[in-house]
Amino acid sequence: MKNKKYILITKDLQKNLINFLDEIQLEAAKSNKHEDMHIINFCSWAIEELLSGFDAKFRKKKPPQKKSRDQYLDETFMDWNMPEMSDEEYEKLVDQFDAFLRSWEKEYNKKNPKKKPIKNRPHKPKFEDIVQHCSLDEIKDMLLDDPELTPQERFDLYYTEHERVQAEKNSFTLDEIYKKVGIGRYKPPSKNKKN
């Protein structure tokens, strides 16, 4: 049984196959020919196999769990021939080794920085800060020149700015609204006047 290979089929396919074999079996049972008996026997066997098959479900794969410090230490240091020591001495040894690795990593990162220092990097302002001072054509050119954006992101950013510009065109300042309505702004009486 170890060398057998299996194919999983859905419950719907199993049901359809059983119905199909049952129809063939019924047609073969109508006549009394010797060949039809073989068909009936085969259909009976196939239906029995389909009904007695194993049920299976797919499990969701769990992401690998991050190992704890103790698990990592057990896997790493158990093969070493270390002298007998108490748990306290062992913890002290591991802490010293951790301190060594941290200081080595710190020195390594000083000599091999991952990013350029902020002083040497060119200043790249945020997109939102720039677009307030640009026309739609300039924004379009900037978006088309940016290789990091997908076409959908370019469209979304451009459309958002287009809507903002349209809203600005259709809006009025408070003074314009007062003027259009024909009223003046409220001016509170000065506090210096005495009655």
Output the average pLDDT for the chain.
78
pLDDT exceeds 80 at position 15: yes
114/167: higher pLDDT: 167
Does 122 score more than 80 pLDDT?
Answer: no
C-alpha 31: how far from chain center = 61
Res 187: pLDDT: 78
Lowest-confidence region among 1-5, 52-56, 77-81? 77-81
Q: For residue 12, which amino acid is it?
A: D
Q: What percent of the chain has pLDDT over 70?
A: 81
**What's the pTM?**
0.31
Distance, in Å, from the CA atom of 182 to the CA atom of 166, rounded to the nearest integer, reads 26
Range 41-67 average pLDDT: 82
Whether the predicted pLDDT of 126 surpasses 70: no
Q: Please enumerate in sequence order all residues whose Cβ is within 8 A of that of 175, keeping only pairs 6 or more positions apart, or say none.
A: 185
The whole-number pLDDT of residue 11 equals 85
pLDDT digits (tens, 9 = 90+) for 140-193: 888 888 888 888 888 888 888 888 888 777 777 778 877 888 887 777 787 775
- Structural tokens at position 106: 């710190």
Half-sphere exposure in the Cβ direction for 165 (13 Å, CA): 14
pLDDT of 115 reads: 62
Under the banding of pLDDT at 50, 70 and 90, the label for residue 129 is low
- Give the model's confidence band at 4: pLDDT under 50 very low, under 70 low, under 90 confident, else very high: confident
Greatest alpha-carbon span in the chain: 127
Q: What is the pLDDT of residue 155?
A: 86
Provide the pLDDT for residue 90. Answer: 81
Residues 6+ apart with CB under 8 A from 187: none
The pLDDT score that the predictor gives to residue 136 is 77
Asked whether residue 116 carries a pLDDT value surpassing 70, the answer given is: no
Mean pLDDT throughout 118-144? 70
